[in-house]
Amino acid sequence: MLNTRFSSALHTLLALLFDKNQAPLSSSNLARVLDTHPVVVRRLVADLRAAGFVESIRGAGGGIRPVDGLGDVTLGALARAVDFEPAFDLHEIAAHAPSPHVHIHAALAAARDRAHAALLAHLDQVTLGDLADSANLRTELAALLDKGLSNDDIRQAYRVAGAHLVPKVDR
């Protein structure tokens, strides 16, 4: 079974970063976006709250909202907060498996552990803010493509400034 806790947590935190009015988002609203049940979202939010990434607001109009500095959180920190799974799972081997198969399994486990460590090291270099900026640029680019502009038109007329596409100014 696929474990999507990391990607769901990431999507949740990015949704909070993208929310311009900073109103708390309900677990029901997030569940609709993530195509899951609100109880699943509430369990995930409990881990995010325990890690200090979000705060919960109770009562009417309540929900979750980001803490200050959420954009500086690394994807590695998030992965650890939601018990990110190793890079790949290992199959089970029989207790009575012959010696070469036991050692093959051990070699696979060592390779998996190295791959997982390398992945976490990379995720430690990427912040939620970096990912939000990338998603924002992709959103703006998609809007320009939807208006019928070609890639060449966009390259000639726009430049990247901060996390936005802005029109180039004729000199």
Q: Could you read off the pLDDT of 123-147 as tens digits, one per residue? A: 999 999 999 999 989 999 999 999 9
* pTM reported for the whole predicted model: 0.80
| pLDDT at res. 146 | 95
How high is the pLDDT of residue 9?
Answer: 93
Residue 105 pLDDT > 90: no
Give me the pLDDT at residue 22, please. Answer: 72
Residues above pLDDT 70, as percent of the chain:
96
What distance in Å separates the CA atoms of residue 72 and residue 131, rounded to the nearest whole number? 11
Residue 171 reports pLDDT greater than 60: no
pLDDT for 2 equals 64
Whether pLDDT at 149 is above 50 = yes
Count, in order, helices (H) and strands (E) of the chain: 7, 4
Fold of 5-85: Arc Repressor Mutant, subunit A (1.10.10)
Residue 64 bridge partners (DSSP)? 25, 56
* E strands, 3-162, in order: 54-57, 63-66, 158-161
Residue 22 tokens read as 């900073």
66: part of which helix (H) or strand (E)?
Answer: strand 63-66
Measure the CA–CA gap between 84 and 78, rounded to whole angstroms: 8
CA-CA distance, 27 to 41, in Å (whole number)? 6
Question: pLDDT-based confidence at 77, cuts 50/70/90?
Answer: very high
Domain residue ranges of the chain, discontinuous segments joined by +: 5-85, 130-167
